[in-house]
Amino acid sequence: MVEAESGAPAARRCGFVALIGAPNVGKSTLINALVGAKVAIVSHKVQTTRALLRGIATQAQAQLVFVDTPGIFAPRRRLDRAMVAGAWMGAGDADIVGALIDAKRGLDEETGALLERLAGLQRPKILIVNKIDLVEKPTLLALVKSATERVAFAATFMVSALTGDGIADLKAGLAGRVPVGPWHYPEDQITDAPLRQLAAEITREKLYLRLHQELPYQSMVETNSWQELKNGSVRIEQTIYVERTSQRKIVLGKGGQTIKAIGAEARREIAGIAEQPVHLFLFVKVREAWGDDPERYREIGLEFPSE
Ligand code: GDP
Ligand code: MG
């Protein structure tokens, strides 16, 4: 006897999944693991995700659009407040909100506050415990128990974004939960960030990796010009903004050594993503108190908070 065909092919699904969590829980690493390519910037320096960056993954019939929110934390400065507002706004718009908890860090005060606010959010919520490679099972289960007592999560996943453990399960779980509907992006697209924005993020990452001890969070990178040349290469000009002359000196380094090294690393990575040879020109400018300039906020996709 032949089993009957199940009929029509499974319907397509598509949805936005906002990942929220404290800085450093691994949101960006997780998005890269889910997408299978580097679209988000990972750093040991907290708070490197500024604007809401989207990474796109497909799983069977489902397209999952991940929104990498800035880490939610206690805001003090204006820029911090804009980031927190941006993160919650991203969560409010999403089809699913994935709350990330760091297994090693556990339910500290900051995570507790996040769960409290999350409990009031009227969206489907799932719990994602990350960094399970760092803790023993009993610790993990105790953590899940206490988190699920505080918020009504539709599901719980335990993963390691670093080793890939549990990622396939998470992806399948999300694919089954996003709404039925047409895909928002072409099949092979992995991010909706324009190349020039990605290129700026890459340079910013190299900057942080090298100078995280000397530079405050405020420094930022903008791509000012992106010129396709006849020979198939591209000429890119970027400006690194710092707030003080002393910081400019640090970025340049002795005889321009530091900026040269940052430029070489960034150029290599941008060329890989743009799939063409890149000539990268970096400029370092001092712009005092750019943290209070509304125009800078627009450029990185944030609302300027009025107070
Ligand atoms: P975000 O601030 O939430 O976006 O966090 P990142 O993705 O930038 O990660 C912060 C740090 O945690 C980085 O050093 C990552 O390599 C590390 N990390 C992320 N996921 C894991 C994990 O599953 N296990 C371990 N051991 N480290 C992780
Ligand atoms: Mg991040």
Nearest to 85 by CA among 299, 297, 289, 243: 297
Atom of ligand 1 nearest to the CA of 100: 3
Distance CA 242, CA 236 (A): 20
Atom of ligand 1 nearest to the CA of 161: 23
Q: Structure tokens of 167?
A: 């990622």
What integer pLDDT is reported at residue 106 of this predicted model? 95
Distance CA 64, CA 45 (A): 27
What integer pLDDT is reported at residue 1 of this predicted model? 43
φ, ψ of residue 253 in degrees (nearest 5): 75, 175
| Residue 233, Cβ density class (10 Å: 0-12 exposed, 13-18 middle, ≥19 buried) | middle
Residue 39 DSSP SS3: coil
What pTM does this model have?
Answer: 0.70
What integer pLDDT is reported at residue 254 of this predicted model? 94
Residue 59 Cα to ligand 2 middle (Å) = 23
3-state secondary structure 214-256: CCCCCCEEEEEEEEECCCCCEEEEEEEEECCHHHHHHHHCHHH
Residue 273 DSSP SS3: helix
What integer pLDDT is reported at residue 110 of this predicted model? 86
What integer pLDDT is reported at residue 161 of this predicted model? 97
Low-confidence ranges of the chain (pLDDT < 50): 1-4, 43-50
Distance CA 83, CA 70 (A): 6
Nearest to 127 by CA among 166, 163, 164, 78: 166
Mutate to test the pocket of ligand 1, among 30, 41, 42, 53 (most ligand atoms within 8 A of CB): 42
Residue 123 per-residue DSSP state? S
Residues with C-beta less than 6 Å from any ligand 1 atom = 21, 23-29, 42-44, 49, 71, 130-131, 133-134, 160-162
Which protein residue has the closest C-alpha to ligand 1 atom 9?
26
What integer pLDDT is reported at residue 257 of this predicted model? 96
What integer pLDDT is reported at residue 249 of this predicted model? 94
Atom of ligand 1 nearest to the CA of 19: 3
Q: Which sign, positive or negative, has the C-alpha torsion 108, 109, 114, 120?
A: positive
Q: Under 8 Å CB-to-CB from 63, ≥6 apart: which residues?
A: 12, 13, 14, 15, 56, 57, 178, 183, 184, 185
Angle at CA of residue 47, ends 145 and 33, nearest 5°: 60
Nearest ligand, CA 46? 1
